[in-house]
Amino acid sequence: MTTTSSNDMTRREVLTTVALGGAALLGSCTSAAPASAEPPRSQPATNTAGASTSNTPALAGKHEIVPLPFRAGALNGLSERLIASHHENNYGGAVKNLNRVEQELSQLSADTPPFVVAALRERELMFRNSKALHEAYFGNLGGNGKRSGAIEGALASAYETSARWEQHMRATGVSLGGGSGWAILGLELDTGGLRTFWSGNHTQVLAISVPLLVMDMYEHSYHIDFGAAAGRYIDAFFANINWEEVNRRYERAQRVSALFRGVPS
Ligand SMILES: [Fe+2]
């Protein structure tokens, strides 16, 4: 999806975005601007081969790994080894596996056993969401951690104070410590409201929502640096949030939500 104004977007485009779990919107958001810790990216940060446009083959199996929007060693309190390994092995693995699953699914025929289809569909959803959430995660890092902009006021309205929201987000992350999952701040498209939720197995996301801020709580996202001390990782994550990027996502998600609900944005 391109960064068109709300007037340029059709309801069909909005529904396409929603049906894809907001991945299309996220893709455009992560490529919108560089993280503040680094100069502008030299490469696009969006996987256009797998972009969620209505005329793109569903099972092309040609997704590409999106480069980090910052230098792996540039973050504050999150090591280069950790970030590079996470990006290459965990995120990169999801992209490669998604391609393989799509290639397998493209061969589906009337003779394909239902249990094979079921297994492939389960893996497809898991790898597709893992890819999208990892791109959102890396895309919302590289900042100075100082909350500002429209999202600050919106969080205060939704959670009494933005500090109170942070308490919710941190507690959600802590609740996943030692296990696996994602803590996510999203915009619920059918209400236009901000929601904080968790996602297990890359799949249990809030159905009609666009992720604005994504915090990876799988152990691979912190164990190299912090062992089992998930709370220390959460501190480091918050210190590196790129709130400019979160604000860009919020602004776009509001416009998509308005179109989805059929109200003026
Ligand atoms: Fe991860």
pLDDT at residue 16, rounded to an integer: 38
Ligand 1 geometric centre to CA of 90 (Å): 6
Question: Mean pLDDT, to the nearest integer, of 117-144?
Answer: 98
pLDDT at residue 25, rounded to an integer: 47
- Our separate counts of H helices and E strands in the chain read 10, 3
Ligand 1 geometric centre to CA of 215 (Å): 9
Question: Mean pLDDT, to the nearest integer, of 123-144?
Answer: 98
pLDDT digits (tens, 9 = 90+) for 33-86: 333 444 344 333 444 444 455 677 899 999 999 999 999 999 999 999 999 999
pLDDT at residue 264, rounded to an integer: 86
Average of per-residue pLDDT values in the chain: 85
pTM score of the predicted model: 0.83
Distance in angstroms (rounded) separating the CA atoms of residues 36 and 258: 29
* DSSP calls for 74-97: -SSSS-HHHHHHIIIIIIHHHHHH
* Token pair listed for 14: 């909005």
Question: Mean pLDDT, to the nearest integer, of 160-187?
Answer: 96
pLDDT at residue 111, rounded to an integer: 97
Ligand 1 geometric centre to CA of 203 (Å): 13
